[in-house]
């Protein structure tokens, strides 16, 4: 394809490979404007405002090797290319994006790129599927060893001692899943750059999405997303992605080679759906965050039933200052300028994810989870609908019980993905479910 405008360093074209002439100053556009327009110009052939779905698996060549940028759909597809442009523009500091068939396929590709015998340092409170791949697949099948470390509380010496000559990657979630630990990414990045091994820093940004935080601006080398969650936002697409900054061109080339060689690529239809979902990401994330902050405040007041509320946006959270400093420039501008003082007094929106510990144990947690009417008991997160789950028995069931205990993933922990329904209805739903639990004491 012929590059036209570069938005966040990424060439901007339409879904048909045609430069989007509607974006003359795309690098200066706001987050929501980029979400709607980058990678989504009008179709050259028909003028269609929304890019068509290109289902063809192969493409005509005018001569051997002479084509319009596409040869075979595994290697490149108009819908995937357009969506990757959207992703690179949304993750501030991004220049390259690669889409994969799932978040797990994304994880697998990154870890395979390290080669055999590598060492990884990972935050200990990591998504159960990532823990499973590191310990059950990359370890025995690739010889990759992972050291799990409390990167929220570890001091500089502990972190530096964990890095070996063959440490190639440090894997971070912030906030972590499901206990929402916060990692100081600029501090960690500085430490890694000071070490002779110079491992790459990968941040899984699924929980906050590109709207609330921008890890590449904080010092990360790679950002990973499960696009299944907030970026798609409608619980109907399975997909993952990697976003890299401009100075990692060689790494992008290597990962793109693996994307094609392994072939774990998303379908054109899924790319089309996810790009459509991304157009409203800024609107949804504001609603998710505002609703979550109000739900967290309701839970805080129910000390008769709730032992602890974990939402870094709450003013009472021990790392609320770090949460604020980690906000993306656009999220910080929105929070500082658009939210009334009455809202800021109690904290600020920080995504739609929260966890809480209910008084009692697993019985009380299940009582709550089976008593909600609007919060659906289900795995996953980030859709417009509200979901609730039990990490110990669901998303983190693959983590050994003794390790879950160390991480604080006990039988009384409940995780909420707060949706964009009317917040008054969600508050009523949570309140009545808590009342049911209270009556059982």
Q: Is the pLDDT of residue 238 over 70?
A: yes
Mean pLDDT, to the nearest integer, of 397-408? 90
Three-state DSSP at 32 gives helix
Write out the catalytic residue numbers: 74, 127, 204, 229
Work out the angle at residue 269's Cα, subtended by the Cα atoms of residues 265 and 274, and round it to the nearest 5 degrees: 80
Q: Is the pLDDT of residue 219 over 90?
A: yes
Q: Is the pLDDT of residue 336 over 60?
A: yes
**Concatenated DSSP letters for 113-134?**
HT-TT-EEEEESS--HHHHHII
Global pTM reads 0.92
Mean pLDDT, to the nearest integer, of 154-166? 98
Mean pLDDT, to the nearest integer, of 432-439? 98
Please tell me the predicted confidence (pLDDT) of residue 344.
86
Please tell me the predicted confidence (pLDDT) of residue 7.
44
**Per residue in 193-204, pLDDT tens?**
999 999 999 999
Beta-bridge mates of residue 225: 241
Please tell me the predicted confidence (pLDDT) of residue 424.
98
Q: CA nearest 80: which of 61, 97, 58, 102?
A: 97
Please tell me the predicted confidence (pLDDT) of residue 284.
98
Cα gap 420→428, rounded to integer Å: 14
| pLDDT classification of 26: cutoffs 50, 70, 90 | low
**Per residue in 114-144, pLDDT tens?**
999 999 999 999 998 999 999 999 999 999 9
Return mean pLDDT, the chain: 93
Q: How far is CA 284 from CA 26, 134, 180, 236, 344, in A?
A: 22, 32, 20, 16, 19
Strands 353-358 and 413-417: antiparallel
Please tell me the predicted confidence (pLDDT) of residue 13.
43
Please tell me the predicted confidence (pLDDT) of residue 22.
43
Q: How far is CA 297 from the centre of its chain?
A: 24
Mean pLDDT, to the nearest integer, of 305-316? 98
Please tell me the predicted confidence (pLDDT) of residue 398.
84
Mean pLDDT, to the nearest integer, of 24-51? 87
Q: Is the pLDDT of residue 9 over 90?
A: no
Q: Is the pLDDT of residue 387 over 90?
A: yes
Q: Is the pLDDT of residue 15 over 70?
A: no
């Amino acid at each position: 394809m012929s590059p036209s405008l570069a938005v966040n360093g990424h060439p901007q074209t339409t879904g048909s490979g045609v430069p989007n002439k509607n974006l003359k100053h795309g690098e200066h556009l706001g987050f929501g404007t980029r979400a709607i327009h980058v990678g989504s110009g009008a179709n050259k052939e028909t003028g269609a405002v929304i890019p068509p779905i290109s289902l063809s698996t192969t493409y005509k060549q005018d001569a051997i090797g002479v084509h319009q940028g596409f040869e075979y759909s595994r290697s490149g597809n108009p819908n995937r290319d357009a969506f990757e442009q959207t992703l690179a523009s949304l993750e501030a500091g991004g220049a390259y994006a690669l889409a994969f068939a799932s978040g797990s396929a994304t994880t697998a590709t990154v870890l395979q790129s390290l080669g055999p015998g590598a060492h990884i340092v990972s935050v200990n409170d990591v998504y159960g599927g990532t823990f499973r791949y590191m310990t059950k697949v990359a370890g025995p099948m690739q010889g990759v060893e992972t050291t799990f470390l409390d990167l929220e509380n570890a001091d500089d010496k502990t972190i530096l001692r964990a890095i070996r000559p063959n440490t190639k990657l440090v894997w971070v979630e912030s906030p972590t899943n499901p206990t929402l630990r916060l990692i100081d990414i600029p501090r960690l990045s500085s430490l890694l750059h000071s070490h002779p091994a110079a491992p790459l820093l990968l941040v899984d940004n699924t929980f906050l999405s590109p709207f609330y935080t921008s890890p590449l601006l904080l010092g990360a080398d790679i950002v990973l997303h499960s696009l299944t969650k907030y970026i798609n936002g409608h619980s109907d697409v399975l997909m993952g992605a990697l976003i890299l900054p401009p100075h990692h061109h060689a790494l992008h080339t290597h990962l793109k080679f693996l994307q094609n060689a392994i072939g774990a690529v998303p379908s054109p239809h899924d790319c089309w759906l996810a790009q459509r979902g991304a157009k409203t990401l800024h609107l949804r994330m504001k609603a998710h965050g505002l609703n979550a902050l109000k739900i967290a405040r309701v839970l805080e007041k129910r000390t008769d039933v709730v032992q602890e509320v974990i939402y870094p946006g709450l003013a009472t959270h021990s790392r609320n200052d770090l949460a604020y400093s980690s906000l993306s420039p656009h999220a910080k501008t929105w929070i500082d300028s658009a939210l009334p003082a009455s809202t800021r007094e109690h904290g600020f929106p920080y995504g739609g994810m929260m966890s809480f510990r209910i008084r009692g144990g697993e019985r009380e947690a299940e009582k709550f989870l089976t008593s909600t009417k609007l919060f659906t008991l289900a795995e996953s997160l980030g859709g417009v609908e509200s979901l609730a789950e039990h990490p110990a028995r669901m998303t983190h069931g693959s983590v050994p019980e003794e390790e879950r205990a160390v991480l604080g993933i006990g039988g009384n922990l409940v995780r909420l993905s707060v949706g964009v329904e009317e917040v008054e209805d969600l508050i009523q739903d949570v309140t009545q479910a808590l009342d049911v639990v209270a009556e059982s004491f």
